Each structure stands twice: as C-alpha cells, then as structure tokens.
A and B are shown apart, each in its own frame.
Chain A
Amino acid sequence: MFRQLAVFEMKLQMRNFLAIFFALVFPPVMLLIFGGIYGNEPQALTGGLGTVDLMIPAYICMIVAVTGLMSLPLTIASYREQKILKRFMATPTQPLQILLAQLMVNLLTTVMGIALLLVVAKPMFQLRYSGSIPETGLAFLLVVLSMFSLGLMIAGVAKNGQAATALAYIIYFPMLFLSGATMPLYIMPDSLVAVSKVLPLTYGVELLSGVWLGGRLLSYRLELAVLAGVALVCTALAVRFFKWE
C-alpha cells in the first residue's frame, strides 16, 4: 500500500510545474549563469575557494527550501482543502501514510535536484569538495529536518490553501534571498546581514557550506542548535495544529 501511494505521489510531483522547475531546473540554470559570470577560480576573499564551490552547498539549501517550504506545505494544504485527506480517512489505510509519502517524495525531489546540480556543475567547473561525507550527510539531514518541519508547520497552522500559499511565500522568499542560499551574505550590507540572523535557513547555509568545504560538524554549535531547535519547535507546532480537514 505505502509503496503504491509513494509511487503515485511521486508521479504527481513530477507533473507539478512549481516543484519541478524550482527544485530541478532553476538551480542548475542559476549555477550555469552565475558560474559563467564569476568562474570558479580560487579567491583570496574566500580562503582559496572558487565562487562555484561556495554556490553548491548554498544552492542545495535553496533546493531544500523549495521542496520543504513550498512544495510540501502547498500540496498538503491543497489535499486538505480538496478533502483528499478526509477521503483517505474513510479507507482502511492510515491517513498518516499520505503525509509520510509527501515527506518522502519531497526528500527524493531534493536529492534529485542536488544530483542534477552536481551533474551539471561537475564537467563545467573544477569543483573542490573537502568535507567528510558522513558529516556532510548529517548537516544536510539537519537542514532537511528543519525546513521540512517548518513546511509541516505552515501546512498545520494555515486554515486553507490560500493562507498556506501566503504563509509559504512570506517565509520562503526572505529566506531564499537573505539567507545566503542564492546570494552570498558577504556582499550584503550590515542591515540585511542583521535580517539574515533571524532566518533559520541562514544557519542551514552556514552549516552546510562549512561542512561541505572541510569544517568540522561540531564546530558549528550555534547552527546545530538553531536548526535542531527549529525542527523540534516546528514539528511540535505542526502536530499541535494539524487538522485533517
């Protein structure tokens, strides 16, 4: 049953323009454009790393933001509004499975987006990766947990599809532009850097970039604490406010 449901949800995800474009197509295109402009030559400013090297972990965070903050909550909110969740309740399955399937599908979309980004970037630029794979994996997982739980919270507290869309955009767009996910924070004025400090994704970009480029996971205590805190609080709020209809 769950396998059928997951396959079904994945097929629908692949027909969803928003998810496909912003998670799969947009990041490699951005990388090609900005990588084409700046190249990936080592820069003194960034400690011997190229611009593209810095873009990759940041863009991974951008992909997680799209799947976690847009695709996940908007799909769940529309399933609630269209009474699909309610219809599922009147079957022998656990309706919770549909939420699990959505989490899985969006995680898979994220992984596909990252794979596509790397496949495009690899032959075009000389990439430097100096992190540890398990630590990078853990950092990635924490970014996913925090963003997905934020998405579940949006789906939980929003009364209807319109409210979910409004809320998702309000949370997503500032994070997209001001967290370092699309544009590095070092080019921003102090006022915007101050704003970035209240956006959870900023800590995700900081952590993943750091670990990606060779930093030790445990040296990012603040980032780890913020992301874990966001994940816990948002999951609790999502569970508290979630309604099946």
Chain B
Amino acid sequence: MSAISVSALTKDYGPLRAVDSVSFTVAQGSVFGILGPNGAGKTTTMECMMGLRQRTSGEISVLGLDPEEQRHRLYSRIGVQLQETVYQSSAKVYELCQLFASMYDAPLEYMPLLERFRLEGKARSSVGRLSGGQRQKLAIVLALLGDPELLFFDELTTGLDPGARREIWEYVKELKREGRTVVMTTHYMEEAAILCDEICLINAGRIVAQGTVDEVIDQAQIDLVISFETDQDVRTLLEALTQVTRAEQHGSSVTLYTKSEQTLTELVLALKDQGVRYKKIRVTYPELEDAFLKLVGTKAKGVG
C-alpha cells in the first residue's frame, strides 16, 4: 500500500516553474529519497506534500488525505523537520518538547525520546548551546512527539560532521524498523544509497530517474570499468572483446569500459589463453553519485 501518491504535481512561482509534472508513489513503511542539485525543486515538492505550499496543479494524496484540503487532519499524523527552521536559541530543550507535545492529542513522552536520541543530558540546556548534530536530533524528537506514521526530513544531515551524520542514519533506520514511513531530501548520495528504498532524482523541476538505487544507477547506463596491470602489450587482445566501448593501455596499466559484466569472463579467458600474466584486476561499478552526475548533466559536475 502506498503512503503517498503524487501525480503530475506542478508548482509555479510567478513565471518560474519550480516543479513540473512530477509523479511518484511512496510505499508505506519505506524510506523515500528526493535527490537533486540545489534549486531542483526538492523542497518545493516536499512542502506541497506537507500542505505548506499550494500546488498549481496535479494530485497529491498523503495517508489518504489531500494535504491542502485536509491539512489539519494530516498534521496530527505526520512529523516534519524543515530545512531552515531555527528554534528559539533561548528556549530549553525540555520546554520545546513540552510545547510540541501539547499540540497533539496523544503525544509520546518526551523524556524517553530524549534518552533514545542521547539528549537526556541536554534536556535543561538552551537550544543555542546545542551542537549541530544535537539540534538535528532535537528536530527529529520534535517531529516524533506526535507519534507520526509519516515523517518528512528536509536535508536533515546537511552541514553535519561525518560522525553525527552516521549517527542520524542509524536513527532513520530505526524509525523505518518501527514501521514509520520516511520521506527525505538529501544532497549526499551515500546517504541516499544507505537509507533509501526508493529514490527519485529531480533536476530543474522534472524527474529524471526514479526507482531503487540500483535501478536509478542502471537507468544512467554507465559503463563498468575493468582495470588490471600487465607487462605485455595486450591491445590486440582487447580489440577482440565484445561489448567493450573503450579500451586503453598506458604502459603497464590497462583500463576497459564495458556495458556488460560478461566482459570480465571474456577477458580473463583470453588472458589465460594467451598466457598473459596480469595482476590487480579490478571491477568498478558505477555508484549513485556517478549516475547523479550523468543524469543531472554537466552543470552539476565541476567536482569531477
């Protein structure tokens, strides 16, 4: 069953079309990632799902509700963390927890939640004195206080150090194990690959790929790279291989680009046939980041 279905969602800001006919579904209990470069329309898409923005056209159903027409019923069932929210720095952690708990009919107790997120020692600290990671964990706690079925996280780990980021990943996995559905935007491909059951990749307001991480990588049609080292000249041997798009030998190092893993078997058999001695054979599979750069286009490259 799907927790969310979005169909032909379009959102204009004046003459600018921020989201252009986006459609996807999010399975209940899954983690769904919305990826894309800055300004691609990730946050707008998410805010339309949360009912914080009015869509220009298209249909959205979140937990069977229309996020615009039935916002208030929706808000007792979802929890959100917004990218830009900065809670009052003079507020104490427990005060914010009490306040948010008071907004729901059947809130969770906040102390066990703070303990679970290892913030119990910070209950009496001011928000202004928390580290970046602690603030994001507090944002999750506040999103969880209403015991939501569905959580929206907008760039939850942006700006955190790698340790804090990994800690947050564990919590997100835990939320999924509890049966909650999570929709998240992120800039980090590694994060999406680790957490998300399905992703959609948005560029300039349009979906360029969607599916599981592996499916999206497949859609990018990026060659596998096989490399090895040998002292012999193997160029004629390489030319005989099928499905190879490009093969190079520079001194002792050989690199092959191929569409198929079958090339590896062919290569090893040919090397064995001709008695070529080789070492350090390695297959590099494309990762989500490669797919992202290819699908989103040259603009986002830069980093190489």
Interfacial residues, chain A to chain B (CB-CB below 8 A):
1, 4-5, 8, 11-12, 15-16, 82-84, 86-87, 89-93
Contact = CB atoms under 8 A, between A and B. Distances in A.
A92 B74 CA distance: 8
A91 B103 contact: yes
Contacts of B99: 4-5, 8
Given A11-B95, A83-B86, A93 B103 contact: yes
Given A4-B102, A8-B99, A83-B86, 6 more contacts: A12-B90, A87-B82, A87-B85, A89-B52, A90-B75, A92-B146
B72 interface: yes
Given A4-B98, A8-B95, A92 B75 contact: yes
The 5 closest A-B pairs by CB, nearest first: A4-B102, A82-B86, A83-B85, A15-B90, A83-B84
A90 B50 contact: yes
Interface of B: 50-52, 72, 75-76, 78, 80, 82, 84-88, 90-91, 95-96, 98-100, 102-105, 146
A109 to B, nearest CB: 15
A40 B105 CA distance: 57
Contact of A86 (B52, B76, B87, B95): B52
A187 to B, nearest CB: 40
Interface residues of chain B: helix, strand, loop or mixed (majority): loop
Contacts of A4: 98-99, 102
A92 B85 CA distance: 18
A15 B126 CA distance: 11
A135 to B, nearest CB: 39
A1 B103 CA distance: 6
Nearest to B77: A92
A93 B59 CA distance: 25
A16 B85 contact: no
B237 to A, nearest CB: 61
A71 to B, nearest CB: 14
Give the one of A5, A83, A92 with max B CB within 10 A. Answer: A92
A11 B84 CA distance: 24
